[in-house]
Amino acid sequence: MKEIYDFRLFEKCASQYLSSTDGEILSPIARKIKCHANDPLYQRIGNLARDLKTKDEHLIAGWKIVRRYTKAELAAATCFHLIITATFEPAGEECGTEFDESAACPHCGSGAKQTSDLRLDLRKAPRNKDIARTIADEWIVSQRLAERIVDAGLRGFDLRPVRHKARYEDDPVDLTKIPAGQELIRRAEEAGAPPASGKFYVWLNRPENKQLMEQAWLENAERRRRQTEQRRTPLPVWHQLSVSDSSAQIVPPTRFGVDPFNEDPGGEFRCPSGDLLGLNLLSEISVDFGNGTASDIFFSSQFVGLRQGLLRPRRAILVSPKFRQLFLTEAFKGATFDLAHVM
């Protein structure tokens, strides 16, 4: 197995401490660097990130780990970690999905129970994917994938309906199309800040314009609602993937942390009750099934992530080789697979 660390660095810091030949400068803001953990550049990035943090500066804008396996490793695997790469918003809570927070861990907020059908703005779901998740880690699968996993007799899951509830308030606003927007444009021009100027958005966000701007959002939402009703364009059918088996215990040597250079030694993002294991997964997953499992799709019993605002800690999704083979054979899109080690 080969691990490749894919970093996005803030170019303002990277240009001061790294050579222009280190990685690829994507823009005046960002630089991309791919390296292995044994690469001297990897160690240098880590040292720089730690040093700059003490000065309240940040080097790393984002990161991910890409793992490549040999055919022999894949053939011998008995379990895989399903990683959903297609993400969208708004979250279910924003669209009216209800949760029972009393069931959540009082320390970390993990484990709140969904008590209603999942409601999402399905206009925002990715149309070219077969599995996707919201920013709050609500998982949905396309009709095509749902049919195939049912027909294949896979076990350990249920498929629940996903209700459409559009959040037109999130749609872009064309101020020229609505009365309140036209009034805002008129006032802006009188104030010497026409829409084509750089002053416009500063002027637009002044307190005295707040009420009229809110009216523009409401008028735009109503306009978009009427347009949708007139078109009546059928939305793709999605199903919520509900997994019944959460018996998989994540065990060492699985590692968690804030980023590859910070394993959270102080336990800031770990739950004292053991429900939440960390902010991010830094390694392949090792699991213990106890008495075993007959499922093809199952959850970890513990969580990863953070309860903050709309964000909720998530369980790891683990699948059988049968599920992975079906996914790849049918060329489904929206997820990748890492090996999971059964202890």
**At CB < 8 A and 24+ separation, what contacts does 228-237 make?**
228/123, 228/166, 228/168, 235/122, 235/123, 235/164, 236/122, 236/125, 236/127, 236/142, 236/143, 237/142, 237/143
Confidence of residue 229 (pLDDT cuts 50, 70, 90): low
Question: Model confidence over 140-195: pLDDT tens digits?
Answer: 999 999 999 999 999 999 999 999 887 666 777 888 888 888 888 989 888 888 88
**Beta carbons of 131 and 335 less than 8 angstroms apart:** yes
Name every residue whose Cβ is closer than 8 Å to that of residue 34 and which is 6 or more positions away in sequence: 4, 5, 6, 7, 23
Measured between alpha carbons, how far is 338 from 67 in angstroms, rounded to an integer? 7
Cα-only R_g, the chain: 24
CA distance 112 to 209: 39
> For the residues 42-64, what does the mean pLDDT come to?
93
61-83 confidence digits (pLDDT tens)? 999 999 999 999 999 999 999 99
CA atoms of 38 and 102, how far apart (whole Å): 46
Q: Are 332 and 84 in contact (CB under 8 A)?
A: no
Q: pLDDT, tens digit, for every residue of 314-327?
A: 999 999 999 999 99
pLDDT at residue number 245: 84
Q: What is the pLDDT of residues 95-146, one digit of tens each?
A: 999 999 998 999 999 999 999 999 999 989 998 999 999 999 999 999 999 9
pTM (two decimals): 0.82
Which stretches of the chain are assigned E, i.e. beta strand?
A: 2-10, 24-25, 30-35, 60-68, 80-84, 87-88, 99-100, 113-114, 118-120, 131-134, 139-142, 157-164, 238-243, 249-250, 256-257, 280-281, 285-288, 297-304, 314-319, 335-342
